[in-house]
Amino acid sequence: MFEHEKQILLSGMPLDEAKCAMLLLHGRGSSSNDILEIVTHLNVKEFALIAPEATYNIWYPKSFLASREQNQPALSSALSIIKHAIAEINQAGIPTNNIFLLGFSQGACLALEYAALNAEKYAGIIALTGGLIGEEVKKENYKGNFKGTKVFIGAGDHDPHVPLIRVQQTTAILKSMNAKVTEKIYPNLPHGISEQEISDVNKLFFTS
């Protein structure tokens, strides 16, 4: 078991010049550079991009469907990394309602879990294949109000790691917390990101 060291890659606009920021969370076995490459396909050229990197390139050791205890202390440490990164973005003058959270796979699960545990108005939450974390998810574990935050959750209909039932449970919980959730299930998409998914995200969040 392990905790995370602070490793953050910055890209895009400097924090002190940008009006919006995006916190990017990579998947298992991936890196900050990998998630930044994905974002080159989104219309976020004037954003500050903040990409933490997980120790050993994994945010937590087990499946996101395992009990939370099995993923400790790495899970709590990863959530703390996000909390401190958002605090630093706020200190640079960018309010939370101008901060997007985006993640893929493990990073998508982490983005959703952090947001649900810290519900408030975000600029948006983009979960590319993921769901809330735990052996089972219960509404009573999540408090707060998203105040109409737009959330995108995308997944393939035959993803071997992310069952559709967990995506649907996540959508239901976030909607009950006043999030405006767009859930997209893509046919024949394995564990990955499709061009259509990127297009859907751009249309939902980044088309003026």
CA-based R_g, the chain, Å: 15
Residue 93 lies in a domain: yes
Q: Residue 168: give its domain's CATH number.
A: 3.40.50.1820
**Rounded Cα gap, residues 56 and 95, in angstroms:** 31
**Cβ-based burial of 85 (10 A; exposed 0-12, middle 13-18, buried ≥19):** buried
Check residue 195 and give its pLDDT: 87
Task: Give me the pLDDT at residue 192, please.
Answer: 72
**Residue-level pLDDT at 85:** 97
**57 in Cβ contact with 27 (< 8 Å):** no
Domain of 118, in residue numbers: 8-205
Instruction: With H, G, I as helix, E, B as strand and everything else as coil, classify residue 155.
Output: strand
Which pLDDT score, from 0 to 100, does residue 119 have? Answer: 98
Residue 61: what residue type?
A: P
Residue with token string 């500050």: 48
pTM of the model: 0.95
Question: For 23, which DSSP code?
Answer: E
Q: Does a structural domain hold residue 3?
A: no
Per-residue pLDDT of the chain (208 residues; tens, 9 = 90+): 678 888 899 999 999 999 999 999 999 999 999 999 989 999 998 999 999 999 999 999 999 999 999 999 999 999 999 999 999 999 999 999 999 999 999 999 999 999 999 999 999 999 999 999 999 999 999 999 999 999 999 998 888 889 999 999 999 999 999 999 999 999 887 777 888 999 999 999 998 6
pLDDT for residue 3: 83
Asked if the structure places residue 1 within a domain, the reply is no
The answer to the question of residue 76 being in a domain is yes
The whole-number pLDDT of residue 208 equals 62
Number of domains in the chain: 1
Distance, in Å, from the CA atom of 97 to the CA atom of 120, rounded to the nearest integer, reads: 8
Does 2 map to a domain?
A: no
Could you give the CA distance from residue 26 to residue 15 in angstroms, rounded to a whole number?
20
**Does 195 fall in a domain?**
yes
